[in-house]
Amino acid sequence: MPMVSRVLDAAAVTTLSRYVEQGGGRGLDAARRLGPSAVLDDVDASGLRGRGGAGFPTGRKWRTIVDNQSPVGPPSVVVNAAEGEPGSFKDRAILRRNPYRVLEGALVAAATVGASRVVVALKASFLSELERLRTAVDEVRAAGWADGVEIILVEGPSAYLYGEETALLEVIDGRQPFPRIAPPFRHGIDEVGDDTASAAGVVMATSAEATTAAPTLVNNVETMANVAAILAEGPDWFRATGTAASPGTIVCTVSGRTLRHGVAEFPMGTPLREVIETIGGGPAGERLVAAMSGVANPLVPESLLDTPLTYEDMEAIDSGLGAAGFIVFDDTSDLVAVAHGVSRFLAVESCGQCTPCKHDGIGVAEVLHRLIGGQAREGDVELVERRLTTVADGARCYLAHQHQRVVESILRLFPEAVRDHAAVGAAPVEPELITAIVDIEGDRAVLDEAHADKQPDWTFADVYSGQAPADRIDQRVADAQDPEDASNGTT
Ligand SMILES: Cc1cc2nc3c(=O)[nH]c(=O)nc-3n(C[C@H](O)[C@H](O)[C@H](O)COP(=O)(O)O)c2cc1C
Ligand code: SF4
């Protein structure tokens, strides 16, 4: 299936007037003309599913916000632009090409749920995207698109968990990115705090029943970028591409052991192999071995690379679409080093509010480090397997399950590689850095190399203090350890 251009514009749209010339603004006009109820019907009928990773039906999420209005104040709309999933660059690609499309979608959402505030939450280190957004917000305001709606940009920390939506709301509220206990929908900004509810002593969101705080709608950048055209062209137009259960398109990132790296948009249902070949131009080595959708889902082995990219097909092979950021491995990759890279990334990024996630996570990473270092001890593989069974016990967010699922899949899919590393006297191999993409320059992804020195306490000290971030960090003190961080700035 050929590449398409619905939400990832083929060329950068540099002014609001250019966007309007190309049809921009019609979605917002339609939304204001139709009114909330008809917009909800259209978004429902389109079948749009959230592109942040979980594929949750967008219409259903919006309806929940409308149905749970608060007597205290109007809801807020938050655009999750914190993109930190290893292997993913699609949200930044969309924002760089056309921030107006994302803002238009967010303003449609605000008009629909009755929000008077739109927050775009991204990382302070996303300088290009911030610049594009600042200009776009000024233009959108000047054009009257945002009348009655305040638009705020929040510049958050580099932590992976910042992208988890309840952690995102914590950051917007001026706290650290530690996930909350999830109510069925999000209360958010201006949350009524309850400091008894947090394992870490962090002021947490109260439960859905115990608060009258206004609900908050959180949607991913790509989800929002889809909204305007659904209103302008209609749900049938949207459904004409993709499958019945996964309509529309998907913006994919390809990096790792391919000839090229990049981002492109495809109809949902395009086989993963075709996406890897089109963007990546084939394996850097002799043959593809596997692909991994971020650090969120089990690996897809070569034999299953023809799987169509839809939520249902990826689930049917016991993996997942995630943010469609595919890290590709070829015959030169050491899959146990990949398992270690994933485990180390997630163990470091765990906030430690749930003890098994942090402790067992670090334990898994340590044993895998021994295995790739040629220092395996008797029973190490069983030790990894045992710790994987407990790492997600009582987990407050999905990160711990990701650790369990991804590492378990590598042990299951590549038993020979594991056995080789577990043998006494096995040769050591280089670690594989699994971390966020900071940019795509030309056709190469630039990785966040500094992550190799990040400690599990979120400092860059020479040694790990032994304290989890949730124990170490004062809840209202911005994390100044990472030189890239200037967390909690608001513009
Ligand atoms: C550890 C973790 C990290 C996440 N990172 C991101 C992220 O960077 N961007 C994002 O949009 N969603 C991220 N998510 C998913 C969000 O929690 C949430 O599901 C999403 O913003 C909802 O938007 P959607 O309904 O439009 O998909 C993450 C989830 C987890 C568990
Ligand atoms: S599961 Fe892990 S990352 Fe998520 S809240 Fe608990 S300790 Fe933090």
pLDDT for 185-194, tens place per residue?
Answer: 455 555 444 4
Percentage of the chain beyond pLDDT 70 is: 90
CA distance 290 to 305: 8
Q: Which residues lie across from 87 on neighbouring strands?
A: none
Higher-confidence position of 289 and 198: 289
Ligand nearest to the CA of 349: 2
Nearest protein CA to atom 10 of ligand 1, as residue: 52
Residue 406's pLDDT band (cuts 50, 70, 90): very high
pLDDT in tens, 414-433: 999 999 999 988 999 999 99
CA distance 166 to 178: 8
| Burial zone of 21 (CB within 10 Å; 0-12 exposed, 13-18 middle, 19+ buried) | exposed
Q: Which atom of ligand 1 is nearest to the CA of 61?
A: 25
For residues 385-393, give the mean pLDDT.
97
Least confident of 202-206, 272-276, 422-426: 202-206
Cα 73 to ligand 2 centre (Å): 30
* pLDDT number for residue 17: 98
* pLDDT number for residue 477: 42
Pocket flag, ligand 1, residue 223 (CB < 6 Å): yes
Helix spans in 270-354 (H): 272-280, 311-316, 335-349
Q: Which long-range contacts (CB under 8 A, 24 or more apart) does 278-284 make?
A: 278/3, 279/252, 279/253, 279/254, 280/254, 280/328, 282/258, 283/257, 283/258, 283/259, 283/328, 283/330, 283/331, 284/257, 284/258, 284/259, 284/330, 284/332
For residues 365-390, give the mean pLDDT.
96
Mutate to test the pocket of ligand 1, among 164, 246, 345, 348 (most ligand atoms within 8 A of CB): 164
* pLDDT number for residue 79: 98
* pLDDT number for residue 194: 45
Contact between 434 and 339 (Cβ < 8 Å): no
Task: Examine the pLDDT at 409 and tell me if it is beyond 60.
Answer: yes
Task: Examine the pLDDT at 339 and tell me if it is beyond 80.
Answer: yes
The domain locations on the chain are 16-239, 249-330
Residue 491's pLDDT band (cuts 50, 70, 90): low
Pocket flag, ligand 2, residue 351 (CB < 6 Å): yes
Q: Which atom of ligand 2 is nearest to the CA of 357?
A: 2
Task: Examine the pLDDT at 206 and tell me if it is beyond 90.
Answer: no
Residues 6+ apart with CB under 8 A from 19: 13, 25, 98, 100, 101
Pocket flag, ligand 2, residue 354 (CB < 6 Å): yes
Identical fold at 16-239 and 249-330? no
Beta strands per DSSP E along 325-436: 325-330
pLDDT in tens, 437-469: 999 999 999 999 999 999 999 999 999 999 999
Compute the 3-state secondary structure of the chain and give helix, strand, coil in percent, each to the nearest 5: 40, 15, 45
Contact between 105 and 58 (Cβ < 8 Å): no
Task: Examine the pLDDT at 199 and tell me if it is beyond 70.
Answer: no
Pocket flag, ligand 2, residue 395 (CB < 6 Å): yes
CA distance 108 to 114: 10
Higher-confidence position of 484 and 100: 100
SS3 at position 408: helix
Nearest protein CA to atom 8 of ligand 2, as residue: 351
Of the CA atoms within 13 Å of residue 64, those in its CB half-sphere come to 17
Query: Per mean pLDDT, which of 65-79, 209-223, 256-270 is the most reliable?
Result: 256-270
Residue 489's pLDDT band (cuts 50, 70, 90): low
pLDDT in tens, 256-271: 999 999 999 999 999 9
* pLDDT number for residue 418: 96
CATH number of 16-239: 3.40.50.11540
* pLDDT number for residue 181: 74
Cα 92 to ligand 1 centre (Å): 14
Cα 64 to ligand 2 centre (Å): 26
Task: Examine the pLDDT at 309 and tell me if it is beyond 90.
Answer: yes
Segment holding 122, helix H or strand E: strand 117-123
Ligand nearest to the CA of 200: 2
Nearest protein CA to atom 25 of ligand 1, as residue: 50
pLDDT in tens, 145-158: 999 999 999 999 99
For residues 149-172, give the mean pLDDT.
96
CA distance 7 to 251: 8
Pocket flag, ligand 2, residue 396 (CB < 6 Å): yes
Cα 173 to ligand 1 centre (Å): 17
For residues 107-136, give the mean pLDDT.
98
For residues 197-212, give the mean pLDDT.
43
Write the class of the CATH domain 249-330. Answer: alpha beta
Pocket flag, ligand 1, residue 52 (CB < 6 Å): yes
Q: pTM for this structure?
A: 0.93
Pocket flag, ligand 2, residue 402 (CB < 6 Å): no
Task: Examine the pLDDT at 101 and tell me if it is beyond 90.
Answer: yes
Task: Examine the pLDDT at 82 and tell me if it is beyond 90.
Answer: yes
